[in-house]
Structure 1
Amino acid sequence: MFLEINHVEKVFKTRFSKEETRALQDVDFQVQEGEFIAIMGESGSGKTTLLNILATLEKPTKGSVILNGQDITAIKESQLADFRLKNLGFVFQDFNLLDTLSVQDNIFLPLVLARKSHLEMAYRLEQLAPKLGIQSLLNKRPFELSGGQKQRVAIARSLITAPQLVLADEPTAALDYKNSEDLLKLFETINMDGQTILMVTHSANAASHASRVLFIKDGRIFHQLYKANKTNTDFAKEISLSMSALLGGE
């Protein structure tokens, strides 16, 4: 199995009291290589905590996360940055691009940190840029780009290292409808090329582009839906109904 989330729990304790907040409770699911999964839930449901654990930014109180046979929750703190660099790609809602660097240098940044040669960096970008439609943007600065263009650049930066897993946190939140649709179709294309993607989103429309949707409520997996042969429109309606049931406590 590509990714296993095994009975994960996360308890936060306040610094000056014994009060505990249980953010995740017995979260247990598996991900096949090449899946595109959306994670949904209301604010405070635990979905961001789950994403942070998958990103190795937090450790679970109990349970384990196994990526291609490696327990990533057991990696030493001193080795985590290197692990993320080599295995994980990140796409954020606010892009996290550096205006002082060109688009090309923003994309190269993970490879610079990994000490790759300029020849290899140029080769990887040459392969990647046409797929994302960013060839004409490479010499610009991020402040010269639209939101949709910035997110394409952010996706290029997340893919340039050929990560095992891409984690996306509300990637369409800062975009209008057209740019959101363009971005989600891009995710679908990337996924069809074999990239495994986990995306946290509030949007039923965004989630409808995934192959499976997991719903989290009160720190537990409440429900899941598979897209199968449904259209995006029909799947979005089904997702909205499930979200209504989740919010209504049915």
Structure 2
Amino acid sequence: MTLLAVNHLKKEYKSKRSTQKVLALKDVDFQVNEGEFIAIMGESGSGKSTLLNCIATLDKPTAGHILLKNDDLANLKDKDLAAFRRDHLGFVFQDFNLLDTLSVKDNIYLPLVLAKNTKGKEEKLAHLAKQLGIEDLLNKYPYELSGGQQQRVAIGRALITKPELLLCDEPTGALDSKNAADILNLFDECHENGQTILMVTHSSLSASHAGRVLFIKDGTVFHQLYRGDKSEQEMLVAINEAMTNLLGGQS
């Protein structure tokens, strides 16, 4: 079943110093089925982060439509956007975005508190903490944790509301190779449990965990690669080949 549909999306920005317009997204069109794990790749400036921001309702497209379960996000009023993000989307960022003044436990609880939906929060936290391997960190503060531990906490915060769609923006970009591998394995577990994931990444290794990779070039979906029965290593090789073609301008 289709969870997310991006239809002919276009995004233009006006330069503050001139009348020239920058076309970040030209005509992006794709669908995400429930339970898919999709990675989005492309060069810097290709439009992948703009695409993620539009899906996250952090930016408004110039034209086109984004539908989450047939609800057109363009029809949402500004006053309703924060509640929509909180209720339907989960976010994992490169720099974690945790609040140092709150304990790990309270950072994870924060979306539930903001939604005034704290019933059963202890049970939800206990389940996530075990899954994420952070049971002994709940009373610590973010500044006391390593980068890998902070990202685990950030994933817990993103998942506590059981979002329909988990959006990840370079989630392993600030981590060393071991912690990055641990985080990707956690995403694999989340995906196996039915979580739909959309991840922007520069890393071919990160993208090799996805079931499908979208390659963005000049504001359009240039190519798609499906994992099928490929192993992670085979997928990694295929992604690197596709990126070489992308950078070389080949189709």
TM-score, length of structure 2 as denominator length: 0.97
CA distance in 2, matches of 1:30, 1:150: 31
CA distance in 1, matches of 2:26, 2:41: 16
Q: Which amino acid aligns with 2:157?
A: R
How big is the shift at 1:234? 1.0
CA distance in 2, matches of 1:246, 1:164: 31
Which secondary structure does the structure 1 equivalent of 2:24 belong to?
strand
Paired residue for 2:127?
A: 127
How big is the shift at 1:35? 0.3
Q: Please list every run of 5 or more consecutive structure 2 residues that lacks an aligned counterpart in the other structure.
A: none
Paired residue for 2:24?
A: 23
Within 5 Å, which residues of 2 pair with 1:173-192? Answer: 173-192=173-192
CA distance in 2, matches of 1:193, 1:56: 26
Which has the higher mean CA deviation after the structures are superposed, 46-55 or 144-153?
A: 144-153
Paired residue for 2:54?
A: 53
Q: Which amino acid aligns with 2:71?
A: Q
Q: Which amino acid aligns with 1:94?
A: D
Listed one character per residue, the Cα deviations across residues 22-49 of structure 1 (whole Å, up to 9, x for unaligned) are 1001100011000000000000000000
Question: Are 1:114 and 2:115 matched, yes or no?
Answer: yes
Percent identity of paired positions between Structure 1 and Structure 2? 59
Which secondary structure does the structure 2 equivalent of 1:123 belong to?
helix
Runs of 4+ with >4 A deviation: none
How big is the shift at 1:18? 2.3
Q: Please list every run of 5 or more consecutive structure 1 residues that lacks an aligned counterpart in the other structure.
A: none
Paired residue for 1:223?
A: 223
How big is the shift at 1:73? 1.9
How big is the shift at 1:143? 1.1
Paired residue for 1:103?
A: 104
How big is the shift at 1:131? 1.0
CA distance in 2, matches of 1:164, 1:4: 13
CA distance in 1, matches of 2:58, 2:39: 19
CA distance in 1, matches of 2:248, 2:237: 16
Paired residue for 1:145?
A: 145
CA distance in 2, matches of 1:35, 1:15: 38
Listed one character per residue, the Cα deviations across residues 195-233 of structure 1 (whole Å, up to 9, x for unaligned) are 100000000000000000000000010001001111111
Paired residue for 1:193?
A: 193
How big is the shift at 1:17? 3.3
Paired residue for 1:13?
A: 14
Which secondary structure does the structure 1 equivalent of 2:126 belong to?
helix
Paired residue for 1:204?
A: 204
Query: Aligned-pair RMSD on alpha carbons?
Result: 0.9
Which secondary structure does the structure 2 equivalent of 1:222 belong to?
strand
CA distance in 2, matches of 1:230, 1:195: 21
Paired residue for 2:234?
A: 234
CA distance in 2, matches of 1:80, 1:36: 24
How big is the shift at 1:120? 1.9
Paired residue for 1:76?
A: 77
